Amino acid sequence: MASALHNLSSYDAASVPSAEGLSFGIVVADWNDRYTYAMADAAIETLKAHGALEEDIVVKHVPGSFELIYGAAWMLENVDVDAVIAIGCVIRGDTPHFDYICQGTTQGLAELNLKAEVPVIYGLLTCNTPEQAEERCGGRLGNKGTECAITAIKMVAFGDE
Ligand code: DLZ
């Protein structure tokens, strides 16, 4: 979690395995694209900075965060990837819709994570305000996309030692 003490873009580079030769799927929700695209760009740049090749990063778009579940499942089924990163941003509105999308998407991605043979990384921002999203998409608290990319690389290596 981003907090006053933790910046989402800060990590110990020495603790990150190489991403050379790895392939990644990124599913990006177009809802709140100002934020989700900034996260996707940061994820791609971070994967490349750790050795992944641009051609080994497959990006697919879905309309909203709820469709990340189908998008990630499709990616697992149809593309030979070492990990899938699901990126979305839900911002609270006037109705309880926010809670249902957050809960449904989280549950769906968690279930996929249990079933899939490769890790599914949870890149869903659940914000009360646009300002909170701004802070986590390249603002004061770093970029959630960077955190997701690092998590993906580490999870691919999980169990290697
Ligand atoms: C409908 C909706 C609303 C109100 N808010 C968001 C949001 O803040 N972030 C987001 O990613 N998607 C939102 N959506 C769209 C839903 O995720 C989904 O695309 C629609 O309910 C159609 O299934």
Which of ligand 1's atoms lies nearest the C-alpha of 32?
9
Neighbours of 147 (CB within 10 A): 25
Nearest CA among 153, 145, 158, 155 for reference residue 20: 153
| pLDDT single digits (tens) 117-144 | 999 999 999 999 999 999 999 999 999 9
Mean pLDDT of 32-50: 98
Is residue 97 in contact with ligand 1, taking CB distance under 6 Å? yes
pLDDT beyond 90 at 5: no
C-alpha of residue 5 to centroid of ligand 1, in Å = 30
Residues 6 or more apart whose Cβ sits within 8 Å of residue 76: 25, 84, 112, 116, 117, 118, 120
Q: How high does pLDDT run on average in the chain?
A: 95
Task: Identify the DSSP state of 49.
Answer: H
pLDDT beyond 70 at 1: no
Is residue 91 in contact with ligand 1, taking CB distance under 6 Å? yes
Mean pLDDT of 23-47: 98
Q: What are phi and psi of 32, to 5 degrees?
A: 60, 45
Please return the burial class of 34, using the count of CB atoms within 10 Å of its CB with bins 0-12, 13-18 and 19+.
exposed
Mean pLDDT of 30-54: 98
Mean pLDDT of 59-78: 98
* Helical (H) or strand (E) element with 86: strand 83-91
Pick the CATH number of 22-160 from 3.90.420.10, 3.40.47.10, 3.40.50.960, 3.40.640.10: 3.40.50.960
> In the annotation, is 50 catalytic?
no
Note the pLDDT of residue 142. Answer: 97
Is residue 34 in contact with ligand 1, taking CB distance under 6 Å? no
Neighbours of 145 (CB within 10 A): 32
C-alpha of residue 29 to centroid of ligand 1, in Å = 9
Note the pLDDT of residue 57. Answer: 98
Is residue 104 in contact with ligand 1, taking CB distance under 6 Å? no
**Nearest-CA residue for atom 5 of ligand 1:** 90
Distance of CA 140 to the CA centre of its chain: 19
